[in-house]
Structure 1
C-alpha cells in the first residue's frame, strides 16, 4: 500500500514538472512573434517571413464581428496607400465551414487573408476576442498589440506613423 502512495506521488510530481515545459509563452512587445499556423485562401501555408523587411499589421477578425467588418474598408485603403512599408494581414478565426469569400468580394479586400480554422494561431497569440491586432516589425518582433476596433482616424494615424509619415 505504501508503494502505491509513493508511485502516485511520483507520477503527480512528474506531471507537474513536465506540464511546466508545456506552458505557452506570453506574447510580449519586443519578443519574436509566434509562428502562424494558418493557410491562405488557396490552401497554401503562410509564414510571417513572407513579409520580412516590412511591418505587418496582423488583424484577427471574424465574420460575425461588427467592429471587424467596420475596419475592413479602412484597412483596404491603408494597405493600398502604405503597402510598400506596412502590409495588412487578416487572420480569419471563423470555423472551417464558414465561407468568407462572398464577404471578401463584397468588401473588395485585396490584402492577404489567412484562415485559422483550428484556432492554433489565435491561441499562440492569446487572442480572446476580435478584432485584435498586432504590429510586427520587419525582423518579426512584436511592436504592439491592441484589442478592439479602431476607427478610420486612429488607423490612419497609426499607419502614417508605421510608414514613417509617407504614403504612396
Structure 2
C-alpha cells in the first residue's frame, strides 16, 4: 500500500510539473504581442486590449501619489483628443487601496479611459517597477515602445505623431 502511495505521489508531482511548464507567464517584450490586461474599469468591468483594436494604444501606468504621473495628465488629455482618431490613451492606475480615483480624474478633467490594476498582475506582465511607465502598442497588438519616467508634452507629441505616420 505504501508503494502504491509513493507511485501515486510521484505521478502527481510529474503531472504538476508538466502542467506548470505549459503555463508560461506573459511578459512584455518589444516586438512581441502585448500581454493581456488584468484590470478593471472604474465601474468594475474587466477590460481587454481588443476593445481598442485597430488603433495604437498608449498604456500609461500611474499612481495617485506620483507627482510625475499627475503632471503628465494634462498633456495626455490634450493629446488623447488631438490624436483620438488613431491613438487611444489608457491610464492604468496602480494604487493598491480603494481610493476614489474617479474624483481625482474629475478634478484634473481627465476623460481618457482609466482602469485599475489593484492586484498588480498587469504591472507584473509589463514589468513595471515604477511610475510613470508607458507602453505603446500598435494596431495589430504588438508592443512597439516602452517609456520609463515622466514625459513632457513635446516628447509625448513626437511619440504620437510618429505612431500616426506609421499607421
Establish whether residue 144 from structure 1 lines up as the match of residue 129 from structure 2.
no
- Unpaired segments of 5 or more residues in structure 1? 1-10
| Structure 1 range deviating more: 95-104 or 56-65 | 95-104
Classify the secondary structure of the residue corresponding to 1:164.
helix
Classify the secondary structure of the residue corresponding to 1:144.
strand
Aligned residues: 165
Classify the secondary structure of the residue corresponding to 2:165.
coil
* C-alpha deviation, 1:13, in angstroms: 9.2
- Unpaired segments of 5 or more residues in structure 2? 1-11
Which residue in 1 is equivalent to 2:118? 117
Give the superposed CA RMSD.
2.4
Which residue in 1 is equivalent to 2:38? 37
Return the alpha-carbon distance in structure 2 between the equivalents of residues 45 and 15 of structure 1.
29
TM-score, normalisation: structure 2: 0.85
Return the alpha-carbon distance in structure 2 between the equivalents of residues 47 and 70 of structure 1.
26
Return the alpha-carbon distance in structure 1 between the equivalents of residues 159 and 16 of structure 2.
45
Matches within 5 A, 1:53-72: 53-72=54-73
Indicate if the aligned counterparts of 2:41 and 2:116 stay in contact, CA closer than 8 A: yes
Indicate if the aligned counterparts of 2:26 and 2:35 stay in contact, CA closer than 8 A: no
TM-score, normalisation: structure 1: 0.84
Indicate if the aligned counterparts of 2:58 and 2:135 stay in contact, CA closer than 8 A: yes
Return the alpha-carbon distance in structure 2 between the equivalents of residues 103 and 82 of structure 1.
23
